[in-house]
Structure 1
Amino acid sequence: MVDVGVDLVAREGAGALTLREIARRAGVSHGAPRRYFPTHLELLSAIAHRGFTDLAARVGSARGDGRTGPRGRLTELSRVYLRFALENSGMYELMFRHDLLESGHLRLRDTSLPLFEVLVELVGRVRVDADARAVAAALWANLHGIAQLWRWGSLQLATGADDFQPLLRAALDAHLGPEDRR
């Protein structure tokens, strides 16, 4: 059922994730999901957990081999985050639903917070003069906003941009200070 839900959210978005539709596509009775997931939130949390696992794997790959400094790793991590959000918009929407994160099902916060800690650690290495947690939170909010506004087409309309890279560079410069581009 989780596999079906992951496929369904990828094809049709988070709004398509009803217990009845997941059961139908899984070829089970409409009551069968309740045997494994007593509430709809628990099934949605299991699906969102897959998204966090996928994002964590991508972030792990983006951390590099140590030859790139913290600013370069932050840039790559931010690109990975934005690409994930844009390529997996239904999953991304599901993953950050407050009711799922707040509910405690499958301890989604324990899956999402380590990703944030990666951001905090790298920001702390770039911005030794600042509260790394606050700067990381502001950067994350900025990235989340870029992803959402890009998905809606608002940023393309407002800026005329056809690529999010200049916006990403501006966000990183705003939160980390200008990069030395000599």
Structure 2
Amino acid sequence: MAAGSSLRERLIDAGVDLVLTEGSASVGLRETARRAGVSHGAPRRYFPTHDALLSAVARRGFEDLGARFEAAVAGTTTPRSQLESLARVYVGYALERRGMFELMFRHDLLDSVPQASDQPRLRESTLPLFGHITALVARCQSERDATQRTDRPNEAAPPPAVTAAALWSNLHGIAQLWTWGSLQLVLGAPPLGGDPGDDQRDRLIAAVLDAHLGPMTS
């Protein structure tokens, strides 16, 4: 059992390396086996389909991102500051680990086949991260409602999950458009390969949070 588990992890390690160096399109069962130094048929014992292997690789990405989220919020106290930290980590992760980031959210491919009964499905890594963001959004909305008076009391705010999904979509868009160079073009930022543009990305992130949660109040 231990040897099998070790081989499975070696195959996933090889798949992660392929994603990070050559992109997700390079992650085939045969090439992964070659990278892991095993026979071409070995991956089939653990990953009956190509999608199953990709799902295991993507799960590693979610574990990595989750660990970075935990580290980012360790020194924060308010839900708003935690969301800001998570947003910066999310965009930074997208730029640093582009191949993995692009793979992780292809649930149209990754979650399309059942996984082995003894292995959790990818959704069990994805949904807790989104649930954490939704919980922080709910706390931000509650604090805002408790401290601010509205001149439109009958206007209900969207459910926290809807706001969280819209916030996530905006952050994902920032990450993709920055990767493609589109935001640098419209903002007059240095092109890819130049200054990393952290200040401009931080301003974009702040604007997204303000749009969905309301501006910060002193």
Aligned partner (choices 155, 160, 171) of residue 132 of structure 1: 160
SS of the aligned residue for 2:122 comes to helix
When the two structures are aligned, how many residues end up with a matched partner?
A: 180
Q: Deviations over 1:145-176 (max 9, x none)?
A: 11111111111112123331111111111111
Q: Give the equivalent residue in structure 2 for 1:78.
A: 87
What is the Cα deviation at residue 29 of structure 1?
2.2
- Structure 2: distance between partners of 1:108 and 1:14: 16
How far apart, in 2, do the equivalents of 1:58 and 1:172 lie? 20
Match of 2:202 among 147, 158, 165: 165
Structure 1 segments of 4 or more deviating over 6 A?
Answer: none
* Matched residue, 1:93: 102
Q: Where in structure 2 are the equivalents of 1:1-182 lying within 5 Å? A: 1-65=11-75, 68-98=77-107, 99-105=109-115, 106-128=120-142, 130=157, 131-161=159-189, 162-163=197-198, 164-180=201-217
Higher helix proportion, which one?
A: 1
Q: Give the whole-Å Cα distance in 2 for the aligned partners of 1:38 and 1:102.
A: 13
Could you list the per-position Cα deviations for residues 47-98 of structure 1 after superposition, in whole angstroms to 9, with x for gaps in the alignment? 1111011111111122234x52111111001111111111111111111112
Task: Report the Cα distance in structure 2 between the residues aligned to 1:86 and 1:101, rounded to whole angstroms.
Answer: 24
Question: How large is the Cα RMSD of the aligned pairs?
Answer: 1.5
Query: Deviation string for 1:100-143 (max 9, x for gaps)?
Result: 13434341111111101111111111123532111111000111
Unmatched segments (≥5 aa) in structure 1:
none
- TM-score if structure 2 supplies the norm length? 0.78
- In the alignment, the residues of structure 2 paired with residue 54 and residue 6 of structure 1 have an alpha-carbon distance, to the nearest angstrom, of 11
The letter of the residue matching 1:109 is R
TM-score between both structures, scaled by the size of structure 1 = 0.92
- Structure of higher CA gyration radius: 2
Letter in 2 for 1:141: S
Matches of 2:174 and 2:60, distance apart in 1: 23
